[in-house]
């Protein structure tokens, strides 16, 4: 919440891409949120009065993207064509999460903050989302800061920090290993944690 500028803090500084965002205010702060941040919330945070299409399009409209381009970009995101005309109350949890994820990544932000992004998704949708944000990491040099209790999801990262009782317990770097090898290393640390996934990643 502090990195996303939702919450204010009492002391310290936060640097994003070498810039101290604690000094931003007014138009600068709005520009930072609009153009550089993407949010994938655990509880979706969709606007109930807008359809899935309108929820996603809103982020692009604010950036001044032309309607034709908005339409083309939305229809290629995360296999959501079937729910675009639905309102949030008409969607399942997994559908809401796919829409919320599409809204977060469609603007191609430099920093994506993801809170349990695959928690409500089936395995196919989870893989699709993780591959998409991995692609943004490689193509756009976007940073993904993700909280998850799922070792499979964590294995897509290049760096995993384990937290236990509010403190850093361990850290792993992928460093050229394939995803299966990295998953095995993650599970080894989970075992050291006593098999408890709470607050693990």
pLDDT at 125: 84
pLDDT tens-digit profile of 60-79? 998 889 988 998 888 877 67
The pLDDT value given to residue 122: 86
Q: What pLDDT tens digit does each residue of the chain (201 aa) get?
A: 888 888 888 889 998 888 898 888 888 988 888 888 998 888 888 999 999 999 999 989 988 899 889 988 888 776 788 899 999 999 998 889 889 888 988 988 889 999 998 888 888 888 888 988 898 888 888 999 999 999 999 999 999 999 988 899 999 999 989 999 999 999 999 988 875 555 445
Contact 109, 142 (CB under 8 A): yes
- Contact call for residues 107 and 64 (beta carbons, < 8 A): no
What does the pLDDT read at residue 91? 93
Instruction: Give the position of tokens 């040099």.
Output: 141
pTM higher than 0.85: no
């Amino acid at each position: 919440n502090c990195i996303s500028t939702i919450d204010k803090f009492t002391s310290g500084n936060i640097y994003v891409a070498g810039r101290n965002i604690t000094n931003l205010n007014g138009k600068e702060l709005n520009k930072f949120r609009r153009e550089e941040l993407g949010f994938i919330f655990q509880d979706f945070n969709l606007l109930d009065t807008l359809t899935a299409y309108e929820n996603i399009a809103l982020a692009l409209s604010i950036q001044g993207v032309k309607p034709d381009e908005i339409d083309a970009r939305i229809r290629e995101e995360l296999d959501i064509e079937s729910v675009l005309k639905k309102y949030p109350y008409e969607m399942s949890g997994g559908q809401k999460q796919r829409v919320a994820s599409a809204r977060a990544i469609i603007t191609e932000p430099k920093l994506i903050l993801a809170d349990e992004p695959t928690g409500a998704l089936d395995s196919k949708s989870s893989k699709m989302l993780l591959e998409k944000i991995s692609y943004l990491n490689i193509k756009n040099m976007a940073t993904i800061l993700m909280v998850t209790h799922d070792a499979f999801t964590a294995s897509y990262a290049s760096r995993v920090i384990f937290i236990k009782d509010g403190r850093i317990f361990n850290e792993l770097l992928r460093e050229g290993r394939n995803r299966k090898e990295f998953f095995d290393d993650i599970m080894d640390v989970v075992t050291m944690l006593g098999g408890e996934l709470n607050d693990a990643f």
